Structure 1
Amino acid sequence: MRCSLVFLLLASALSGCATMPPVSGATVPGVLLPWPAEGQAAIEVEGVGSLGASGEPNPVPIASVTKVMTAYVILRRHPLRPGDDGPLIKVDRTAADESHTLRESTAPVREGQRVRLRRMLELMLVPSGNNVARLLARWDAGSQERFVERMNATAHRLGMSSTRYTGVSGNEDSTVSIAADQLKLAKEAMRDPVFREVVAQADTAVPGDARRLSNTNTLLRRHGVIGIKTGSGTAAGGNLMWASHVRGRLVLGVILGQASGTNPAAAKVAALEVGGKMSAAVEQWLLNRW
């Protein structure tokens, strides 16, 4: 009976997936998941191991998933504890001017405004403010170029051999990676309690501004999902780094290259749909196993 229930759940989760791409790297045999029919993906469960990977591991643009590394480097250089808002950061003219563009996702910060580091991280990760990512890079390293050097050095230290960062926001198609590399970063980033708190937030706001800025990750609170970051672009397609907590175990997944070449908004929806199916299937597998 138990096997029948698992089969029915997985069959339901698979609906809408055109194919089941070859899966490699699994350390747990016999786990069937609704892998995406395009792009690439990888999933790992804390204390269990890899549930496998799909797609060709070729470096591809990752769009705003880039901001996970930006946040990770910032928090390693300027550690925060839960309840600690950190130093004040002054908004420069560049960040304020960039907030008015319609060509990319931004946060409506104002020139001369002083915002705590914790809130800056929220504005970068929750509504995906590109202007705030670049502001944090200038604040930390003096320039975006120097900060990118720190990002690449960190990627090298983490063994992300197929990753190359050329910017801090993900707006550059030349920033490329693979799902397996981003999974390594996800594991490291989620060890930081402040990072975990920020990516789990449903929304945030610029101080003094009543407008609530929603998290781009609409999977939050579903199937135990507690983060992490979306990313989308015409070349990148829809990307998602996600985390869930099921039966005391941390599940981490990365999905890249969904509906690439289409409208970025539609591509993001495609990635979230795949992420929803995969997180639901993993949740049910864990609930049935433990």
Structure 2
Amino acid sequence: MPELPEVEIAARSLASQVTGRTIVGLEHLDWERMLEPLSAEAFAAMISGQCITQVSRRAKWVLLHLANDLTMAIHLRMSGNLTVHYPAEPARTHVHLIIGLDDGRRIFFDDERKFGRVRLLDPDGLAALDAAHGPEPLAETFTAATLAHILAGRRTKIKPLLLDQRLIAGMGNIYASEALWLARLHPLLPAVAIDANGVAALHQAIRAILTQAIEHEGSSLRNYRNGYGRRGQQQDYFLVYDRAGQPCQRCGTTIERVVIAQRSTFFCPVCQLRPEL
């Protein structure tokens, strides 16, 4: 699933191509369940003729802000991609939504698994989406003290806690595993058991790994592409994720894989000592 870095790059690469363009209309939709909760007819009527004034990101949502004060909020989920194409370029098999622009180009929403979702939000709906998510981990206001406050008193294991979008926005399975390795914290460690030094290390690790992943335009393990159709490169720099059976880059111990909260989790059993539970 695209996480914060991938969604950030998706938003940036869309912004550079479609900001200031006017939506001509909804050209294609063959999976109406993508739309929440509007019908295709209502959705088409509300976006047609609207200028895209800005493209941004909140958590794992790409936000296309329209001139009529509506915001098209798009969640890529497991396999979604948003790419911009010229008129002669044919749509691939899994392109379920096409939005036409005034210069003849089209925005494709390619989603093999059909889990992606599109919402059209008024200002109150956008505020509700914002309120449903925790702080952005790359914001200046996300300090070590902020993270300490989030962790305080919680007996939840740190790995699933990092994936809770209500607590920290945009973190996902890949970068949670990477950050915990950087911080030398075991994924099963209860959040409340992390001391001040551990919180500081985790805060630094989260920001470092997300920043690096954005610099490398995200991770492309399967479907992910940016708005130009290019793959990310962060998978070439993985420290622990998807490296089970390979040596730890710090100590040489074999990386292990476990399933925590139904997610594959990768860690070094020496660098990240298992807590006494």
Relative to the length of structure 1, the TM-score reads 0.28
**Structure number with higher relative contact order (C-alpha < 8 Å, ≥ 6 residues apart):** 1
Could you tell me the TM-score, scaled by structure 2's length? 0.29
Bigger fraction of residues in helix: 1
